[in-house]
Amino acid sequence: MRSTVREHADEAVWDVARPERPSRVAGVSMAGFRDRGMATAGHRAVPHPAVTLALEFGAGPLVVDDAAGRRRRGSLVAGLGFGLGGLWVRGENFEAVQVRLSPVVAHAILGVSPAELDGAVVALGDLWGREASRIGERLGELSSWEARFALIDALLARRGETGAPVDPEVAWAWRRIVAGRGQVRIDRLAAELGWSRKRLWSRFRSQIGLPPKSAAKLVRFDHAAHRLAVGEDAARVAAETGYADQSHLHRDVMAFTGVTPATMAGELWLAVDDVAWTGHKTPGQGLRL
């Protein structure tokens, strides 16, 4: 499926493609992006509860700046939620396959624990060496998005089969957090597992990349952000997504993105979800990660 995403009625920003069928790897989703004249200032990337892999090819560089002012060019990996403050994505004439990895499968596929990324953005070459550049070359040689998706899917499946899995208890806890949209009690999860809270914190943090409470906070934020993006009232969103009040929601949005809820709701990055991600659900339908 192909779509064109516009920032304004007369300004095409990205051509977006998505696979015709789901990935063979559970916890993986992909979308293809081709730049159509992105503004020089770029676009804010709103944090998402996934590890993000961007595989660049094409004529121009993909450029990403984080909240601390660090810049990365080309193929990259962004840790879970990619840090507080969000990212700025810019470039001209770039093409890329973006992959969202559930943190449950990220360790096996990437070869490092999401905890080692610590929410940062790192060059893919730093993790995969020369394989990263070879992937970009092969993507550029292919003539269709479906062929590119098939190439990446086979690569991820191969890496996932040989990589180290997370503990089943940790995977269960992550899926419970996602299913509950972040509104879960961590001590209750630990009790259901028969673990101490300290043990759950330690295992979860080392394998998922965030402590369980922070992971729940990110999942809750993501659900609230998408509800705000479709125009729902901020007070209602706060009340129904587990925030103490609207001020609490405001503080979380500022911490994650650096902007107010009203500004964040208009970000192009959130609007893209409806056309790019087959696993994305509209508000009220839940998340699939």
Confidence band, pLDDT 50/70/90 cuts, at residue 282? very low
Residue 228 identity (one-letter amino acid): L
Region at 82 (left for phi over 0; alpha for psi -120 to 50; beta for the rest): left
Can you read off the two tokens belonging to residue 143?
């003539």
pLDDT in tens, 223-266: 999 999 999 999 999 999 999 999 999 999 999 998 999 999 99
The predicted model gives 85-114 an average pLDDT of: 88
Quick check: 263 and 228 in contact, CB under 8 A? Answer: no
- Which pLDDT score, from 0 to 100, does residue 14 have? 78
Predicted pLDDT at 35: 80
Residue among 163, 62, 167, 76 nearest 126 (CA): 76
pTM, rounded to two decimals: 0.89
Q: Which residues of 32-54 are buried (b: 16+ CB within 10 A; e: fewer)?
A: bbbbbebeeeebbbbbbbbbbbb
Mean pLDDT (whole number) for 106-110: 94
Helix (H) or strand (E) holding 66: strand 62-66
Task: State the chain's maximal CA–CA distance in angstroms.
Answer: 57
Distance CA 17, CA 145 (A): 7
Does domain 168-276 sit in CATH 1.10.3720.10?
no
Question: For residue range 185-212, what is the model confidence (pLDDT) as tens digits?
Answer: 999 999 999 999 999 999 999 999 999 9
What average pLDDT is seen over the chain?
Answer: 87
> pLDDT for 163-177, tens place per residue?
888 999 999 999 999
- Looking at residue 286, its pLDDT comes to 35
- Phi-psi category of 45—alpha, beta or left, where left has phi over 0 and alpha has psi -120 to 50? beta
Q: What mean pLDDT do residues 21-26 have?
A: 92
For residues 133 and 125, give the distance between their C-alpha atoms in angstroms, rounded to a whole number: 7
pLDDT one-digit tens code per residue, 49-71: 999 999 999 777 888 888 778 88
One-letter amino acid at 77 equals V
* Cα 242 from chain centroid (whole Å): 22
Q: Look at residue 240 in the predicted model and tell me its pLDDT.
A: 96
Domain residue extents for the chain = 2-162, 168-276
The pLDDT of residue 108: 94
> In CATH, what class is 2-162?
mainly beta
Check pLDDT > 60 for residue 9.
no
- HSE of 54, CA atoms in CB hemisphere, 13 A: 27
- The residues with which 29 forms a beta bridge, in sequence order, are 100
